[in-house]
Each structure stands twice: as C-alpha cells, then as structure tokens.
Chain A
Amino acid sequence: MGQKSTGQIIGVDVGGTFTDLIMLDQTSGKVRLAKVPSTMDNQAYGVLAALDEVKAELQAIDLIVHGTTTTTNAVLERKLSPTGLITTKGFRDILELGRRTRPQAYGMVGKFTPVIARNLRLEVSQRMDAAGKVITELDEDEVKSAARKLLDLGCESVVIHFLHAYANPAHELRAREIIAEIWPNDYITLGHELLSEAREFERGVTAAVNASVQPLLERYITRLVRELSDRGYGGEVLVMNGNGGMVSSSLVAHEAAKTVMSGPASGVMAAAFTGRKAGMENLITYDMGGTSTDVALIRGAEPSVSNEIEVEYAMPIHVPMVDVRTVGAGGGSIARVNAAGLLEVGPQSAGADPGPICYGRGGQDPTISDANMLLGRLNPDKLKSVAGGVSLREMGAIFDNRLANRLGVTVTESANAVIKFANMKMAGAIRMVSVSLGADPRDFALFAFGGAGPLHATALARELGVPTVLVPARPGITNALGCVVADLRHDFVNTINRPLDEVDIKAVHAVFAAQISEGEKLIGKENIEVSNIRKSFSADMQFVGQTHLLRVPLDTAVPTRDTLRQQFEKAYFQRFKVDLGEVRANLVNINTSVIGERPELDLSTLMDPADRKSSLAEAERRQVYFDDGWHDTPIYWRDHLPVEFSLNGPAIIEQMDTTILIEPGDEAVADGNGNIIITVGGLS
C-alpha cells in the first residue's frame, strides 16, 4: 500500500447488466456509489465510466478491488482462447464424453460443446496406474511433436492432462519442461495443479477452462491496470475469486478458472460481513435479480464452500468456490396458464430484452415484476420513466387476457396468485438447497438483496418458517460491497482417500503444514496490508462404501485419528440423524484455507447520514394489495429514514436500487449499522 494512505477504497463489480461501484473514504466516512451499464466487449469501459460517475481521483485511491465476469462469459459463450490438450494415449475424448449424462431427466435431446475441440486434443504415449506407478514411460518425442502441432494450429495455451497425475505428477511436470523449451509460454496448465484429486473428466475440464481463459483474463486485467495507471492510479488492483477471497492482479491469471464464479461469491461475502457486524452469523442469502435467483448458506459467518460446482450442463469447475445455487425464477419469469388450466411461473423468462411488460420495451408476457407493479408493490411512477411507456391499464389487459380470464379470477387476484405461486416455488427451491447442505432453514435469517430480493423476502421467510429478514443498506450493490470487504484467500485441497485406520497421521499433519506454508508464501507475495492471517482446516470424509463426502471442520492442523473420527461421526449424525458407528470411516481430502484478513471497515455510513431525517416521515401513501386485500400503505424513502426507527407492516420502503415490502403483521427496525431487520409475524 502507498505511503500517503488516504484510506480510500473502491470496489467495482461487473455484472451481466450493470457495473456497480462503491467508493469508501474511511477517514471521512463518505461513501459514493455508481451503477452504470456493463460493457461486455471490454468490461474496462464500464469500470472507467463508473469511476467517472463517482468523480474518483485515482491518485488518491489506495486500493481497487474488482469483480469481473470476463471469464464467466467466455466460458458460457465458448468465446475461448484457442487451447490445445496433450493427454494420455487412448483418452483424448475424456473432455467430450463427460460422465455419460443428459441435460434433463426427460427429453432424449441435448447439446454439448467441449471446451477444447477434438482436433486440438492430442495423445502421447505414457501411463501411470492408480498408485502412481509408471506403466509406460513418457515418450518425450511425441510430446515435442504434439506441442509443435498445437503451435502450428494456432493454440495460445495448452493443457497437459495425464491419467492419475494426482497420484504421481512426474510426467506432467516433465512434459511442461519439454514444451517450455520449444514453446515459451505463460499459459501451460497441468491437470494436477489446480485440482489434485481423482476424476479425470472434472480435473481435465477444470484445467481446460483455466488454460482457455488465461490469455483473455490476463489481457483484460493488463489493459485495465494500464488504463487506471494512465489516469494516475498507483495502487494495487485485486481481483475477486469464486472462493470469496481476492488475489493480486499479477497472480490472478495463473489460476484463472477460480474467477469464473466470482460474481455471485462477492455478494455472499458481503452478506457474511454484514451479518457478522449485525450479530447474525447464520444466513441464507437470497439474491433475486431480473433473470435468476441465487441462494447460498452462511454458517458461523462463513459461507459454504464447495469443490464441486457445475457452471452449466457438463461443465464442472472443481476448485473451491462459494457454493451459490441458482434456483431459477427472477423478476422476468413468465406466468402462464397451462393446458390443465393450472398456473405456472417460469422457467421461461422475458430476460432483459424485451423484459417484463413494465420495462416498456415491448414485452407482452406477464411476469413476476409486472404482478408486483399491478399490486402496487412497485412504484407505478417508474412506468413513466421508461422509454416505450406502458400504462397500468395496458398491463392489466394482458393479465386479464392471459391469466385472469382463464383462471376465472380478477386481474388483481391473478397478479397476487403469480406472486404467491412464485414465492412457494422459490421457497421450495431454497429448502432443497438447505436440506442438501444439511441445514434446517428455520435456524437461519434470510439476507435479502438484489433488485427484487427485498420485495419477496418476508413472504418467503414466512413460507420457510424463517423468523428474521435482514435487508442491508444497499441491496442493489451488494456485489461491489463484497469486493470492498473481501479478504485475501488461498484454498488448498489434497487427496488422501484411505480408510482412517490405515492413514499415516504424521503424513496428514505434514500435508496440513505444507498447505499452510504455501498459503502464507502467496499472501506474502501480494502487496497488501493484512491485519491478521487466519487459517481454517477441514477434512472431507465418508463411511467406507459411500460416495458422498461430508466436510468436517477441524480446529487444528494436527488432529489425532480419534479427533477425526469423532468429529466426523458427530457431523454425520447432525446431518442424517443416523448413527453408523459400526462402519469404518474414510479420509478423502484434507483442506486448508489461508486467509489474509484486511483491516475492519465501518459500514454505518453506507446510508449518507446527511440525508437522514430525525423522525419517521412518510413520503407518500398508496394502495398496495396484500393477501387479505388492498391496504392504504405508507411509503418511505429509505435514505430519509432516521438512524433509529421501528415500524409495523404494511409498509413499503423504497430506495434507488430496491423496494422493501413489509407485510401486515411484520415489524421492521433499524439496527444502527444501516440494516433493516424485519421480524416476520405469525411464526411461533
């Protein structure tokens, strides 16, 4: 960090539609925010536009933390750098064969495009067995000619992926030396390096994704850093990873695959941070946007992390990432009446273009957002500000024609049904996520963000039996906030995969020690002030004969065999309510996270104190429909709410980036940190 520290930090997150920015001046407590359209061809333009919007003086900025979807989009649209694969003879199709699946249970159709095309997948003679013993020596001449061929074919990066390299990486390491001689190249990914565990498809795809986004990410980051330095910025640019930590821009491209799911992760990190400050360490995050809804679990202020994320059909990226699940519906989800005369909402979505009817861009399908508008939950003044212009009357006519008529109800009742039904489906999906992670939703608070999250949160909470909803100060820029609060973080996974009784416990301790030292070394390389280095340890375990893994948190890097067994059996019982003490346990993976904690930030100024009024004052009143009919409902402007307040539903709180619905029977209070805490009525 620079010597003349002014305490100014910027977090900037590029999302699918908007680029969000938050600028925090820790000395004055001043906060500036920006929300500008994302520029997908080169995301740097949107970042620069956002910096202009807040009038950032870059030479006075200490640190910029950046969340980017550059790699996400490249993978999903397959706009990847030309990448070659060199692999074990007989196995070049592993990346295309996948795990023998189809995209959905019913319908014998599906498409799949492998990350690396078949003509760029070359084989060489070499073979290890599962114990890492060499069966066929590496044919070095074949490696050379394969590398030359890939060069000729225009490849920019290369993956070396050999069977069982997790057990013995010697051939992969040697092949890299050979290739580096004839093809000096920053973009060589070895299969075992990102993910040192068995399962050739998942490991191979992870490596292939990494190699094929490396050049893109590096070019993007280099260009961005240059643009910033041209404008006088002299500090470090940190980039968000999918594990919710950040890494220096100089290191990020090396493990580029880790950035693929970074967008949703930063939102969850912000939630964990906000929740911890608010004294709520167990949260279900609920991020509802225009096209999708993301859900994650936070326990003890730590987001759930998974090594087994599938980004889309047959696209596993098995590096530790915050376990964010997309559960379908967003504000643009379309409602319809099916041939059985029953209501359906989603999975079709009006998307961003034309979007819901209320966007005024020609959308003609009734959506969740439109239903909220018809019920008075969204401010109808917004209709006047959109380009095409559409009236409530026109929206009502579409609802009448498409839904109300066919259901035999009024337009209002049909809109209410859309919301009720969508809430029930979302609640079901959230319950499935929590059950699959072994949690009971009733033990959590719901952290609502995204443009539409706070509009549905209280109803969902009631459906799930969740007693409390937390709405942060700035729900629409939570991802940018996540950038500002994130820590430096490096995760390590090593596979043991032996029955616990047969494990050499000293070797386990040695692996933990190596993981710690590697993490500390990496954090040392990053030119960032950390207040504390924290480590967390866990083991992935199972009973012998099982295939699913259970992650067992450990409070030490030198556990005894008995500790491992007891902790596992305890965790298993908590999850499944089954005691299987008679069966032996397997130790599959051991994991360490090394976290460089950054100095604490004060977030109470996220709502500008200057704007706040001294007492609760209604901005207006309007008719809003709730389950029991229309209510004359007070509307508050959030920025004007006093620091401390308490109000009872029905009420609506509006702010620039979201609308908060407080239903009859609910009570909302300010918590002093800028959050609103809603106690859901009717739950015992």
Chain B
Amino acid sequence: MIIDPITLSVIQAGLQQICDEMDLSFSRAAFSPIIAEANDRSDGIYAADDGSLIAQGIGGLPVFVGTMQFSTRILIEMIASGKVASPRPEDIYIVNDPYLGGTHLMDVRFAKPFYRGGEIFCWLSNTGHWPDTGGSVPGGFSASATAVEQEGLRLPPVRLFKQGVLDQEIYSIICSNIRVADQRIGDVKAQAAALLVGEERLNELLDRYGDETVREAIGQLRQRAAVQMRSCINEIADGTYSSTAFVDSDGVVNEPLEINLSIIKSDDQLTFDFSKSSPPCIGPMNSVLATTVSSVYLAIRHIFPEVPISAGAFEPLKVLRPEGTFLDAQYPRPVSGCAAEVSQRIAEAVFAALIEALPDRVTAAPAGTSGNFGLGGHDPLRSRDFVMYQLSGGGYGGNADHDGLSNGCSTIGISKAPPVEIMEQTYPVLYHRYALREGSGGAGKHRGGLGLEYEIELRRGNARASFVMDHGRFGPQGALGGAAGAVNEVTVWQSGKPYTPEHLSKEQNVPLKAGDRVNVKTPGGGGYGNPFERDVEAVLYDVEMGRYTPEQARQLFGVELDANPYKINATKTGRLRAAASGDVT
C-alpha cells in the first residue's frame, strides 16, 4: 500500500502531537522540580518489533533523543528470551539499568505495551529523572564512585504496574532504597498517567486512519526521514573530519580523558569512529553505549534542527561501537557522569569535527557542562537535613551570524535555573553574587557568550560540597580562528582561605562550616572566526558594557580605545590589526 504524502504528513503530525501531549501531561502532574520545572523527562512511541523510534516529544530532554529506543529494544529482546516476564495489557515496566540502554541510574524508564486487537501494536515509553535512587551521595552524582553499586539502586525491567495496578511489593523495595521516598508516589503516578494519555490519543488516531494505514505510514515515514537526513548531510563534502575533546578527569584519577573522533562522510552517510578514545576509567565518567550514540544524535539534531526525531533520521548516522574505550562502559563501571558531562564532550567533538564543513550551521564550542554543585548538610534552625543543587549554564559558542548567548543552558538540557530568592528561601545559604563572568567569552569575529559567576555562603550548620563539572582544564574550543572560552573555576573559601579542588572541576564532600563560601565561575563559549576581524564598534560596545577591559580589547581584538568616554583610536587600531595580519604599514 502506497500512502499519499498528504496522509503521511497528517499522520506524522498526529504522532508528534501525541508525544508532545504526553510530555506536557508528565511535567504538569509531576512533583519533582527536576521534572516539573526542568523538564528532565521525555516521552515517545516505539516500534513493537525492535523498539525503534517512531516519534518522540519535541520538549523532551535532548540527551534522551536516542536512548529510549535502545532501552525499549533491549526490553523486547529480554522478553523474547524469557529473561523478563511477558507483558499483559495495562502492564508498565520500570527499568533504570544503565547498561540496558540507559544513561545514569536516576533516569528511570517506564515502558508500556500498546495493544490493538489483542496484539502489541507498539510501545509507549518515557524517562523521568528521579531526584534520588539511593547510593553513596544524595542525588546520585558521586564524583568518586568506582562501581555502579555505589551510585544507587539498579532495577532490571520489572512490571511495576500489573494489569493497571501498582505492585506494592516492588514499590516498597524501591522506597526502602531511595531518599525522600514519601514524595515519589506523585511522580510515579504522573509518569504512568502520561503513558495513559498517549494510549488514549493513539487509539483515537488509529480509529480514525485505520491500523493498517498507520502501520504502513510509520514505515514510509521512516524511509522519508532517512532521505531528509541524507539530504542534510550531503551539505558535507565527502571525506574524513577529525577532532578531539577532553574531559578534565574521571573524578578519581587526575588525568584527562580523550574523546578522539573521526567522522567519515561517504555514500550519503556519516560514520562516527571513537575507537582511539581513552580506555574505561576508574571514576564515574564512563559512558554507556546508548548515551554515547544518543549524544551523537543530539549533536546532529542541534546542527539540523529541522529534521524531526525518528529512527529514520538516525539511519544515515552510523556510530561504530567504541569497544575498549570509556565510551562503551560495561558493568560494573560507574557511569553517573555520562548523561550530564561526557555526553556534552561528545557533542563538542562532533561540533569541532564538522564546523569547517558546515561553517554556517555549526557553532564554536558551548560551555558544555551542567555545572553540578551539590551541597548537603544539616540546617540547625529548621532541625533538618538538606540537599541543594545549583546547576549552572555558561556561554555559547560564537556562530556565523552572531555572538554566543550568555548563560545558556547545557547542550543536553533545556531547563530553567532556579531563582536565587527561591534557593535562599529553601536552603541555609546566602548568595553574594550572581553575575555575568566578565571577559570569559572566547575572542572571535563573533565572540563566545559569557559564563556565570556566583558565590554562595553557608549561613549556619555544617555541610559538604560536591562538584561534578567540566572544562576546568581546557576551555570550550574556539573555531575558525576564534579563541577558547574561559575555563571553569571552583574556589572554596574555608575559614577565609581559598581551596581549589585537585581535579579542578570535580570533587566530593569538601567540608564547609557556617561562614564558608563557594565561588564558581562557569566557562565562556568559544569564539568564532578571527577576533581581529571583529567589528570595532562591537568591541567598543563590549567595553562600554564592562564585558571586556580596554586592555583585553587591545590584546584579544586588536582595538585601541581612548578613555572617558571610550572612543576608538582608529590609527592605533589600524596599526595593531595590520601588524597581526602581517601587513606592514
């Protein structure tokens, strides 16, 4: 059956709509701010036979763009081989095992078989980031775990809902192993309810267009998405494109981890070869295969945002399994850093490799870290323990059209930062500063965006600070002659004395007492193009706005300014810029 392109278009929009509505429903009903506010969740529809992605919500967290089809495929395989109980209508499986197509333990997947006429037509699945799944550190981001058991409770696929009814026994095991368990029931109900919404809407779509038509349309849409992605990647000339990107350290051994990428463009497809990357690491900066592949997908989607998410769009992207590297972690390697940090370095490597081939589409490197600062302690005033997270953004890379955005969200996220006032209402801290980090954007014809600088004081009691950040050793890469953005900097002020973590961007359990402070400066974005070609008026404006000093204007951009008020000294500027380009005047 050939389905006309108009019906195909309408069915595609309908499937997309269903997933968007699942996303909306999940966030609206969820309790945890990380889902309700930060949208750290994703919902989609997956094929019955192999779990391949049919449609996924546009508002899902970008890092989940490719993981759920892995997760669903493995579930289907485990059911087929008898390792997991067979499904019945209204069952919902729960799984968070990273090695079974996941990310880190906190990303908990639900999967529900969708039946039509007694047969499984497809799977509905979603992922939600739970605030805690047990383990040595509240929240799960241990910077120095050496095995997954230290990171939290690991669930193989089990049916949490059996024929629509929550299995209290399984749920009680989960609740006994996680922190702040009493609020989880709201999230569990929200996560399951989102799948119900999807089920209802999908039934409506099938009733309207017919099961066979929709089934056939899904197949044809997949082929067409592959065609669309191929037409995009054909903007890239055939050849090999290489890059490297570095993770500061694994949190345990203080040595950089290298991502070594070669992208081969030939025959309308891109092949991603990470095989020369560093071997598996001791600490939690290993990435499971699903996350590595998903990071490639999300980077490509940032470059070609017009191609909708589907298995077909991924077909021309071949990621070779990087066996023996830290990008293909096996049990029991710790993996808590993969979704938040390693994924962003992988994306950075993809950007760096492709920017020369696609200079109008790719940006210089963005800050590329989630900037995870955790503070756990006891608040004597309220007589209770607390766990606080400050996740921060940084500068985006300059691009062909304009300067990088300042204080943008991480490459893999889409969330909003919590207001300072809400943080101070909730936790015993006082912010002394929450500001643009001056001078941090990498110089370029279009400079990088500025990072953030904040300083937090512990007001009472004792606490321990933990950091899982990156780009402390190397700044986000500049491109096409642009300079790197400023590196991430962490300073802990203990009794008035500064302390810098040995691993720069990662450390666990730094003790704080009342009056101690933590100062964090997040990375600026990489610069794009030769900074000495930057519009001199733009350099002047940046100085007027206090983003750079006059000294930096001269050194980084070759612009000499006279002061009070600032004016461009055209003669000296001409001389500086001519000298740099090799012209002698």
Mark A residues whose CB is within 8 Å of B: 90-94, 96-102, 104-112, 117-119, 127, 129-130, 135, 163-164, 166, 198-202, 337-344, 407-409, 413, 417, 420-421, 424-425, 428, 431-432, 435-436, 497, 543, 545-548, 576-578, 580, 583
Known: A93-B436, A408-B5. 17 other contacts (CB 8 A): A97-B407, A100-B392, A100-B393, A100-B407, A110-B408, A135-B430, A163-B421, A201-B419, A407-B4, A408-B4, A424-B13, A425-B13, A431-B17, A432-B24, A543-B186, A545-B31, A576-B29
Q: Is B79 an interface residue (CB 8 A)?
A: no
B425 touches A198 (CB 8 A): yes
Instruction: Give the distance in Å from the alpha carbon of A94 to the alpha carbon of B396 in the complex.
Output: 18
- For A105, give the chain B residue with the smallest CB separation: B414
Mark B residues whose CB is within 8 Å of A: 4-6, 8-10, 12-14, 17, 20-21, 24-25, 28-29, 31-33, 36-37, 58-59, 62, 183, 185-186, 189-190, 193, 221, 224-225, 227-228, 231-232, 301-302, 305-306, 351, 363, 366, 392-393, 396-397, 399, 401-402, 405-409, 411, 414-417, 419-422, 424-425, 430-436, 452, 455, 544-547
Least Cβ–Cβ distance between B10 and chain A, in angstroms: 6
Instruction: Give the distance in Å from the alpha carbon of A91 to the alpha carbon of B423 in the complex.
Output: 15
- What residues on B are CB-neighbors of A435 within 8 Å? 21, 24-25
- For B454, give the chain A residue with the smallest CB separation: A90
A130 touches B425 (CB 8 A): yes
- What residues on A are CB-neighbors of B25 within 8 Å? 435
Q: Can you name 5 A-B pairs with beta carbons within 8 Å?
A: A90-B434, A96-B407, A97-B407, A108-B302, A118-B546
B393 touches A118 (CB 8 A): no
Instruction: Give the distance in Å from the alpha carbon of A164 to the alpha carbon of B431 in the complex.
Output: 12
- What residues on A are CB-neighbors of B32 within 8 Å? 545
- What residues on A are CB-neighbors of B21 within 8 Å? 431-432, 435
Question: Which of B20, B419, B420, B545 counts the most A-chain CB atoms under 10 A from its CB?
Answer: B420
- What residues on A are CB-neighbors of B396 within 8 Å? 102, 108-110
Report the 3 A-B pairs with minimum CB-CB distance, sorted nearest first.
A340-B228, A100-B417, A340-B224
| Contacting residue for B183 out of A90, A109, A344, A583, CB 8 A | A583
- What residues on B are CB-neighbors of A127 within 8 Å? 430
- For B34, give the chain A residue with the smallest CB separation: A547
If A109-B363, A163-B420 touch, whether A546 touches B232 (CB-CB below 8 Å) is no
If A130-B421, A547-B36 touch, whether A102 touches B434 (CB-CB below 8 Å) is no
State the majority secondary structure of interface residues on A: loop
Instruction: Give the distance in Å from the alpha carbon of A436 to the alpha carbon of B27 in the complex.
Output: 10
- For A117, give the chain B residue with the smallest CB separation: B545
Least Cβ–Cβ distance between A661 and chain B, in angstroms: 20
- What residues on A are CB-neighbors of B33 within 8 Å? 547
| Contacting residue for B58 out of A94, A105, A436, CB 8 A | A105
Least Cβ–Cβ distance between A645 and chain B, in angstroms: 33
B424 touches A576 (CB 8 A): no
Instruction: Give the distance in Å from the alpha carbon of A81 to the alpha carbon of B468 in the complex.
Output: 43
B406 touches A96 (CB 8 A): yes
Least Cβ–Cβ distance between A347 and chain B, in angstroms: 11
Instruction: Give the distance in Å from the alpha carbon of A198 to the alpha carbon of B420 in the complex.
Output: 9
Least Cβ–Cβ distance between B121 and chain A, in angstroms: 21
- What residues on B are CB-neighbors of A164 within 8 Å? 421, 424
- For B402, give the chain A residue with the smallest CB separation: A111
- What residues on B are CB-neighbors of A107 within 8 Å? 302, 305
B183 touches A91 (CB 8 A): no
Instruction: Give the distance in Å from the alpha carbon of A119 to the alpha carbon of B546 in the complex.
Output: 7
| Contacting residue for B434 out of A97, A344, A577, CB 8 A | A97
B36 touches A546 (CB 8 A): yes
Least Cβ–Cβ distance between A63 and chain B, in angstroms: 42
- For B180, give the chain A residue with the smallest CB separation: A545
Instruction: Give the distance in Å from the alpha carbon of A107 to the alpha carbon of B397 in the complex.
Output: 11
B9 touches A421 (CB 8 A): yes
- What residues on A are CB-neighbors of B221 within 8 Å? 342
If A119-B545, A342-B224 touch, whether A420 touches B363 (CB-CB below 8 Å) is no
B227 touches A417 (CB 8 A): no
Instruction: Give the distance in Å from the alpha carbon of A97 to the alpha carbon of B407 in the complex.
Output: 6
If A96-B436, A546-B186 touch, whether A200 touches B419 (CB-CB below 8 Å) is yes
